[in-house]
């Protein structure tokens, strides 16, 4: 379970070249995430929907304890990420569209490395690696370097890496960004499998089609603020007469 309560993130805004040269304008701040609260339940998929630059990645990085919130708290399975980031990280897996894999390692070496980083016992890690390689059909290219794999194969390795320590919570940050239809389909199926396995899944996207395919709960984020947070069923009944896209734009317009 993920409990996010009133998180905000304020960054120092980078100076423009003109400001750097003339030293005229003082440094200003930029609020990337503004008092966001939501809850994700086990066995459900929470979709964080928002346009580019809305604050989705920053919010998810805070949830994943990569960034410290300026205010607010995040609890992963009851563990406060600001107080015990390591314990929280042990319970979560994080996957992005960029795969985040080492091109010069093989899938096998990658899984072994992440098992070691997550301190998975050797006896357990070997069995889990074999299971994941089998379930994700990685076997035929398990000894080939990641850099030589296709995007779809890389994504399968990336999923295996994310699940290597069997996390209770999985964060998918725009996992289909820039992927072709077939590869995106693999990811979507895996997100569903994670849900069926009883995991807490949070998924960010700006693609409407994925929302209707996956969402149990929906949060719409715009300019760092969460402007909608309810079940997807309620969303559909509330905006039933409109297409999803119209409904999304209507929420954004109301929030602006």
Which residues of the shown chain bind another protein in the complex (CB under 8 A)? 12, 61, 64-68, 86-87, 89-90, 92-94, 96, 98-105, 109, 113-114, 116-119, 145, 161, 165
Q: What is the side-by-side strand order in the sheet with 71-76?
A: 29-40, 2-12, 71-76, 79-80
In the complex with another protein, the residue whose CB is nearer, 113 or 239, is 113
In the complex with another protein, the residue whose CB is nearer, 87 or 213, is 87
DSSP strands (E only) in 77-224: 79-80, 92-96, 169-173, 200-205, 217-222
In the complex with another protein, the residue whose CB is nearer, 85 or 208, is 85
The token pair that represents 49 in the structure block: 């929907």
Q: Per residue in 85-99, is it b (16+ CB within 10 Å) or e — as a string?
A: beebbbbbbbbbbeb
Residues 6+ apart with CB under 8 A from 100: 158
* Three-state DSSP class for residue 191: helix
Measured CA to CA, the distance from residue 83 to residue 73 in angstroms comes to 9
In the complex with another protein, the residue whose CB is nearer, 120 or 188, is 120
Least distance between another protein and beta carbon 39 (Å) = 21
Least distance between another protein and beta carbon 57 (Å) = 10
In the complex with another protein, the residue whose CB is nearer, 112 or 222, is 112
Measured CA to CA, the distance from residue 156 to residue 47 in angstroms comes to 21
Chain centre to alpha carbon of residue 95? 6
Measured CA to CA, the distance from residue 93 to residue 163 in angstroms comes to 6
Least distance between another protein and beta carbon 17 (Å) = 16
Least distance between another protein and beta carbon 242 (Å) = 36
In the complex with another protein, the residue whose CB is nearer, 114 or 232, is 114
Least distance between another protein and beta carbon 101 (Å) = 7
* Three-state DSSP class for residue 199: coil
Least distance between another protein and beta carbon 152 (Å) = 17
H or E element at residue 245: helix 244-255
Beta bridge partners of 75: 3, 80
Strand-pair category, 169-173 with 200-205: parallel
Least distance between another protein and beta carbon 215 (Å) = 23
In the complex with another protein, the residue whose CB is nearer, 3 or 96, is 96
């Amino acid at each position: 379970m993920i409990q996010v309560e009133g998180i905000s993130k304020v960054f120092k805004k980078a100076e423009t070249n003109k400001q750097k040269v003339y030293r005229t304008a003082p440094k200003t701040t930029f609020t990337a995430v503004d008092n966001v609260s939501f809850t994700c339940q086990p066995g459900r998929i929470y979709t964080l929907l928002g346009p580019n630059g809305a604050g989705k990645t920053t919010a998810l990085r805070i949830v994943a304890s990569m960034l410290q919130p300026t205010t607010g708290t995040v609890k992963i399975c009851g563990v406060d990420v600001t107080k015990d980031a390591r314990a929280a990280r042990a319970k979560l897996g994080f996957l992005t569209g960029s795969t985040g894999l080492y091109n010069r390692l093989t899938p096998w070496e990658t899984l072994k490395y992440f098992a070691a980083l997550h301190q998975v016992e050797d006896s357990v890690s070997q069995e889990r690696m074999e299971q994941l390689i089998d379930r994700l059909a990685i076997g035929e290219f398990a000894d080939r370097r990641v850099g030589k794999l296709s995007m779809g194969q890389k994504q399968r390795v990336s999923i295996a890496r994310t699940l290597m320590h069997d996390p209770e919570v999985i964060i998918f940050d725009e996992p289909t960004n820039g992927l072709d239809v077939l590869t995106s389909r693999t990811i979507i199926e895996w997100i569903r499998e994670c849900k069926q396995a009883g995991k807490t899944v949070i998924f960010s996207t700006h693609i409407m089609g994925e929302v209707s395919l996956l969402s149990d709960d929906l949060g719409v984020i715009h300019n760092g603020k969460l402007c909608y947070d309810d079940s997807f069923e309620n969303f559909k009944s509330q905006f039933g007469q409109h297409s999803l896209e119209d409904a999304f734009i209507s929420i954004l317009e109301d929030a602006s």
